[in-house]
């Protein structure tokens, strides 16, 4: 019986090890030792630049670096090294190689020069493609960058360079992609490869390719259908709003929103309106925010309970003008009419309180708490508001 049990346990152990598979072997030692080892073995040094709080870093460690295909390739072709960017040597490495996003993956030569780079988690197939580019003499980022700076602007190189920059999370990929589009004959722009690039790389409405399609859309309509092309152009205009917000470019923002307003898609219009409002909220331009809200709410947000609530909460937090608060009261009432829940009834109670209408605010706060109890949500802040108003009312009496 004991022999059978031992054999069973050995069999289970074998199955478990087969399921776990081989993992990437990471070099033990300091950064300089890792670079020296790469030089000694005539291999590239691969560095997993991580932080302890980074979820995608942990996902890569659990799901990609334990994959047999990845581990065999990396263990054969690279000296592999892990480095926490917020501790010890990691702080200097992060500064030296301008690492600001996690995870970042570096490939360095034996002299410590960056040869290739990628940013962000990736499934096995995509990560293997990136790693293969790293060992291609004419496919890695360092080679492509050198060729481009030397004046090589062949279409094939621009295409490869744009994708390599994109993998490295370098926004110059958009500039290079636009340069690629400019070199192509107009009849080649509609190819499947180029249409995919247009969708991936068009940075904003000021780009060459966006304006080219806007001026002459018919060839794209003929191949991909008018509705599909217009939807893509709408999505690119929305991306322009995000890009403008990142750059704090209010002129581009307004131009992009002007393009969005030409859409016949209600969801696109609503999304654009919310993004533009959010821009002025984050920049604390309350005057511009309220001017837009008074125009946008009934045009684009009237059937969106969450969007209405977001606007009304901003009014509660930042607006003191009674006329404007009266507008917000009407909007939050519409939100509650659409979706009577804790999140918006709490906003309603707060707005009524800010307007000095505590009797109504108390009733709404009590209703809001009942909604929270039904959904199991934390209503402590609403309870505090209610207690405060009831205490004040008792004192007045």
Q: What is the mean pLDDT of the chain?
A: 91
According to the model, what pLDDT value does residue 14 have?
37
Distance CA 371, CA 375 (A): 6
User: Does pLDDT of 255 surpass 70?
Assistant: yes
Matching CATH number, 303-397, of 1.25.40, 3.30.457, 3.30.110, 2.40.128: 1.25.40
Least confident of 45-54, 122-131, 232-241: 232-241
Tokens representing residue 372 in the block? 């929270």
According to the model, what pLDDT value does residue 395 have?
54
* pTM score above 0.85: no
Across the range 325-337, mean pLDDT stands at: 97
Distance CA 43, CA 68 (A): 20
Please give the CATH superfamily to which domain 20-135 belongs. Glutaredoxin (3.40.30.10)
The helix (H) or strand (E) run that includes residue 117 is strand 114-119
Provide the 10 A C-beta neighbour count for residue 373: 11
Across the range 124-137, mean pLDDT stands at: 96
Map out the domains of the chain as residue ranges. Answer: 20-135, 303-397
Distance CA 189, CA 183 (A): 10
Residue among 171, 185, 180 at smallest CA distance from 208: 180
According to the model, what pLDDT value does residue 21 have?
55
Distance CA 99, CA 89 (A): 13
Distance CA 344, CA 332 (A): 7
Question: For 187-217, what is each residue's pLDDT tens digit?
Answer: 899 999 999 988 888 877 888 999 999 999 9
Tell me which residues are annotated as active site.
54, 57
User: Does pLDDT of 156 surpass 90?
Assistant: yes
According to the model, what pLDDT value does residue 15 have?
36
Domains 20-135 and 303-397 share a fold: no
Across the range 323-330, mean pLDDT stands at: 97
Q: Which residue has the higher pLDDT, 14 or 300?
A: 300
Residue among 371, 366, 370 at smallest CA distance from 387: 366
Of the pLDDT bands very low, low, confident and very high (cuts 50, 70, 90), residue 394 is: low
């Amino acid at each position: 019986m004991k022999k059978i049990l031992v054999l069973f346990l050995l069999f289970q152990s074998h199955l478990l090890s087969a399921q776990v598979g081989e993992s990437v072997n990471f070099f033990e030692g300091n950064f300089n030792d890792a670079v020296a080892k790469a030089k000694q073995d005539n291999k590239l040094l691969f560095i997993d630049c991580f932080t302890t709080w980074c979820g995608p870093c942990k996902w890569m460690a659990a799901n990609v670096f334990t994959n047999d295909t990845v581990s065999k390739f990396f263990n054969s072709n690279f000296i592999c090294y892990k480095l926490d960017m917020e501790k010890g040597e990691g702080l200097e490495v992060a500064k030296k190689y301008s690492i600001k996003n996690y995870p970042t993956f570096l490939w360095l030569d034996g002299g410590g020069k960056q040869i290739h780079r990628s940013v962000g988690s990736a499934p096995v197939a995509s990560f293997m493609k990136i790693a293969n580019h790293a060992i291609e003499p004419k496919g890695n980022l360092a080679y492509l960058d050198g060729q481009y700076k030397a004046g090589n602007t062949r279409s094939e190189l621009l295409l490869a360079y744009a994708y390599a920059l994109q993998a490295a999370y370098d926004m110059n990929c958009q500039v290079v992609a636009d340069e690629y589009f400019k070199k192509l004959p107009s009849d080649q722009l509609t190819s499947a490869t180029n249409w995919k690039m247009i969708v991936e790389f068009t940075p904003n409405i000021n780009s060459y390719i966006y304006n080219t399609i806007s001026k002459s859309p018919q060839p794209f309509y003929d191949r991909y259908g008018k509705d599909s092309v217009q939807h893509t152009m709408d999505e690119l205009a929305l991306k322009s709003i995000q890009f403008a917000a990142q750059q704090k470019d209010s002129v581009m923002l307004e131009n992009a929103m002007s393009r969005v307003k030409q859409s016949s898609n209600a969801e696109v219009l609503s999304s654009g309106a919310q993004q533009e409002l959010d821009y002025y909220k984050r920049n604390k331009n309350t005057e511009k925010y309220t001017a837009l809200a008074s125009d946008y709410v009934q045009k684009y947000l009237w059937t969106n309970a969450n969007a209405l609530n977001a606007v009304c909460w901003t009014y509660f937090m930042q607006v003191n003008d009674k006329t404007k608060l009266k507008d917000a009261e009407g909007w939050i009432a519409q939100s509650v009419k659409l979706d009577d829940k804790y999140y918006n009834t709490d906003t309603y109670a707060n707005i009524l309180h800010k307007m000095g209408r505590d009797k109504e605010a108390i009733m709404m706060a009590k209703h809001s708490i009942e909604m929270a109890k039904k959904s199991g949500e934390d209503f402590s802040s609403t309870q505090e508001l209610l207690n405060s108003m009831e205490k004040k009312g008792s004192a007045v009496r």
